[in-house]
Each structure stands twice: as C-alpha cells, then as structure tokens.
Amino acid sequence: MISTAGFSGYNFDPCTRSGHQTSGSQGRRPRYATDISPWPLYAGRGTGIGPDLGMVDHVTPSKRSEIMRAVRSRDTGPELSLRTMLHRAGYRYRLHVKELPGTPDIVLPRLRAVIFVHGCYWHGHAGCSKAALPKSRVEFWRAKVMANRSRDRARISELKQAGWAPIVVWQCELRDPARVLRRVTDFLQQAEA
Ligand SMILES: [Zn+2]
C-alpha cells in the first residue's frame, strides 16, 4: 500500500541528487545543479526555478511577450481547463510537485500517475507548428530545445523507474479539451487497473 498521506511518503529520494536544496520550497537555487537552463515556462510560479537571466537577454521583446503570455496561461488557460475537467471527472491531484523528477504539473498520488502539460516550443513538440524555431540564432535555440527534450526524457525514465506512470499533454492538444480529457482519462484508467 502506497502512502498518500503526504509527499514525504514517496519512494523517490531527491536527496541523492547534487544541488538538492534542503530548505523546502523557499530556496531560490535550482534543485538540479546541472540544469542547463531553467525553462521560462516555470518562472514566476514560486518554484525556485527562475529564468536564466543570461538567456533572457537573448530573447526579443516579442518573444519575451509570448513567453510571458505562456507563463500566465499556465494557471489561467488550457492547463487550468484540463485540471477543472479532471476534477469534475472525480480525480484528485496535487500540482507542480517539486519532490518528483521534472516537477510534474499534475500528480495523482493514489494512481501513482503524473501529467506534464508541455509548451510545444520549449519542450520541442515534434512536427508541431508551435515548436518552430525563431529565424535568428537558430542553432542556439535548437540546442536549448534539444537539451530540454533530452532532460524531459531523462525525467520521464526516472519517474518510471520510481514506479510512476507519466503522460505528456502538449499545449497545442489543449485546443481540443474534450479529446485531451479522453486521452488522459484512458491513461488514468490504465494506471488504476
Ligand atoms: Zn504542439
């Protein structure tokens, strides 16, 4: 029986990682000392994973606006609609759980399942128009996105090894919320079985 009393009950032990902060959620350092660059989508949510200021300098004003819109949409737009739909369907979850690899957006402890809601650009959604690279400094951005993708893959496999079932929902998919809900609830039913 898996404890759902609190996240201290998880088997995943972040203390084995270098750079782990022991002061809980108030620290400002990234949890992972080896992070290449924190994702701007994670900035400003009190996660302690702020934007890499060196990287922000390279962002054009219009791109910066796009990123900031994405930051806001995280709690007000598509991700919220998915959360609302799941809640109405009877699922209970925790949000943005830093104790798990990759800080999953939605965590269902009882089902031992996690949902990532990924921005298509930063996480490199293959074949997606929202993932098109900017025209300038293409190689720079490609390297950033490839690093994010490989980190995502590593975190997914860490979660699986720790006994979690992960699923990724792409930002562009949320244009059709009902379809996403079907895909996610199918996944959760399998996790429950
Ligand atoms: Zn996409």
Amino acid identity at 12: F
**Per-residue pLDDT band at 29 (split at 50, 70, 90):** very low
Average pLDDT for 120-147: 91
Q: Please give the biggest Cα pair distance in the chain.
A: 53
Range of the domain at 13: 7-17+60-192
Task: Check residue 4 and give its pLDDT.
Answer: 42
Residues with beta carbon < 5 A to ion ligand 1?
Answer: 120, 125, 128, 130, 170, 172
Average pLDDT over residues 71-95: 80
In a domain, 23, yes or no: no
Does residue 50 lie within any of the structural domains?
no
Q: What is the pLDDT of residue 36?
A: 37
CA 1 to ligand 1 center in whole angstroms: 37
pLDDT at 72 over 70: no
Classify residue 127: in a domain, yes or no: yes
CA of 179 to the centre of ligand 1 (A): 14
Q: In terms of pTM, does the model score above 0.75?
A: no
19 vs 108, higher pLDDT: 108
Q: Would you say residue 185 lies in a domain?
A: yes
Q: For residue 14, how far is its CA from the centre of ligand 1 (angstroms)? A: 30
Query: pLDDT band at 189, cuts 50/70/90?
Result: very high
pLDDT mean over 113-121: 94
Cα of 118 from ligand 1 centre, angstroms: 8
5's CB contacts (< 8 A; 6+ apart) are none
Q: Domain containing 89 — which CATH number?
A: 3.40.960.10
How many domains is the chain partitioned into structurally?
Answer: 1
